[in-house]
Structure 1
Amino acid sequence: MNKRLILLLSLAFVLIYACGNNNNDNPADNFDHAAQAVKDNDSLLVYLRNNYYDNSTDSIRPLVAGQTALIDDSRLMQEQITEQDVDYTLYYFVTRVGNPDPVKGFPTVADSVLTRYDGRFMAKTDSLVLFDRRVTPLWFTLTSVIRGWSFGFTHFKGGRNITSNGPITYADGGKGVLFIPSGLAYRNLGNIAVPGSAPLIFHIDLYDIIEDTDQDNDGIPSILEDPDGDGDPRNDDTDNDNVPNFVDTDDDGDGVRTIDEDANGDGDPTNDFSDPNNPTLPDYLNPNITTDHSN
């Protein structure tokens, strides 16, 4: 029992590491990320040409006569992503988009998702499991995971809850495979579970999402806390306190919570403009407006 407990705890630890955000960027790092991106893409293309998706086992197998290589399978898609001035290609294989009930759209890169998954090194076969998805589904916020996940999950929808008695169960959720270059995963440094410069493969099941996730509960969806409009709320910090707006309860640092800078009381701080000298800047981003409307 002790050995089993240790194994389960170890697995849980690796699971947490599996999808954690990559925080290993180092200003002194002289690693050539652009060159590694080209190398990773070449490796991914070789893999996609030499393997196919086995529908009967929901797994990837070495290509055999009569089967369609992943690269030629119409279910394989790709997205071009620029991250830290480097261009990457993310490949994703859509087994099922998902049919949510109640109806929900695709998640954004800042929404929360309920998923089961397994992660693998890119190898000749589909058998080298690193992170086992055969556990209770877990919630993740897509701002706090590797970027391959942040973008990859936006191409799938959730399913429908069919729970009657017992554990929560879903059907018809999004299902597929993400082929992630190392630059959108753990980059050149890796982590305790993943070596540096390792492209990864994740088999994912998406069960549910929280649309318009609001991580700091300030009345503004995290995806909209993006004043510079680049689609990435992680790099927006209006008051320069090293806390991005999407997790900062006081975005402009004026001592009044963002949710309380709602002059018209409609629950949306983004449409309140009280400064005649700066009529296009909403109050919650304007440190000169310090009226608290909570009372």
Structure 2
Amino acid sequence: MKYLLTSLLTLTLFISCVNNDKPVIQEPQKTDYTVENEKEIKDYIALNKLTAVRSDSGLYYVINEPGTGAKPTATSNVTVAYKGYFTSGKIFDQSSAAGISFPLDKVIKGWTEGIPLFKEGGSGILLIPSHLAYGSSNNSGIPAGSVLIFDVKLIKVN
């Protein structure tokens, strides 16, 4: 009986010490880079003597050639030749001259908004703040909070 009582007491203490709470999953810290990105883009525009337009979302763009062909929508599949780089000039990605094809609703928001500004044959520059790109996340060598610049040429609306 003494053994049973001791066992029950030990079991009760053990059970009361077990933490049945679910583990706390901590969300990654989200940083707002809006102010820094806006300054970085404006400085880049001034330094490179660009005439850029700012959309309501914060995307800046330069249309060098508007194009004459079909105009895509935000859900179109397009073929685009591009060079992607940081404001420092360091290239992080580049397509061949033949371009690559993709649906505009499956890429970063800056491209979904920016590519439809051109018609087939059009070209220009997209200056994309981080909230329209990868935000507070690192992505394939692109640091969190990065402004992305793309020289783009819309080859075809597929």
Tell me the TM-score normalised to structure 2 length.
0.78
Aligned to 2:156: 208
Alpha-carbon RMSD: 1.6
Count residues in correspondence: 133
In the TM superposition, what are the counterparts of 1:122-141 in structure 2 within 5 Å? 122-123=87-88, 126=89, 128-141=90-103
Whether 2:96 is the aligned partner of 1:147: answer no
Find the partner of 1:198 among 140, 143, 146.
146
Aligned to 1:96: 65
Aligned to 2:31: 32
Asked which structure has the greater CA Rg, the reply is: 2
Name the SS of the counterpart of 2:98 in structure 1. Answer: coil
| Stretches of structure 2 lacking an aligned partner (at least 5 in a row) | 1-25
Distance 1:149 1:41 in 2: 18
In the TM superposition, what are the counterparts of 1:263-282 in structure 2 within 5 Å? none
| Stretches of structure 1 lacking an aligned partner (at least 5 in a row) | 1-26, 52-68, 82-88, 159-172, 211-295
In the TM superposition, what are the counterparts of 1:66-77 in structure 2 within 5 Å? 69-70=49-50, 73=51, 76-77=52-53
| Aligned partners of 2:31 and 2:136 also within 8 Å | no
- Greater fraction helix: 2
Distance 2:127 2:63 in 1: 11
Moved over 3 A (4+): none
What per-residue deviation string (whole Å, max 9, x for no partner) do you get for residues 215-271 of structure 1?
A: xxxxxxxxxxxxxxxxxxxxxxxxxxxxxxxxxxxxxxxxxxxxxxxxxxxxxxxxx
What per-residue deviation string (whole Å, max 9, x for no partner) do you get for residues 194-233 of structure 1?
A: 11111010000101114xxxxxxxxxxxxxxxxxxxxxxx
Greater relative contact order structure (CA < 8 Å, 6+ sep):
2
Aligned to 2:17: none
TM superposition shift of 1:135: 4.5
In the TM superposition, what are the counterparts of 1:1-295 in structure 2 within 5 Å? 28-33=27-32, 36-51=33-48, 69-70=49-50, 73=51, 76-81=52-57, 89-100=58-69, 104=70, 106-123=71-88, 126=89, 128-158=90-120, 173-210=121-158
Identity, % of aligned positions: 29
Tell me the TM-score normalised to structure 1 length.
0.43
TM superposition shift of 1:189: 1.1
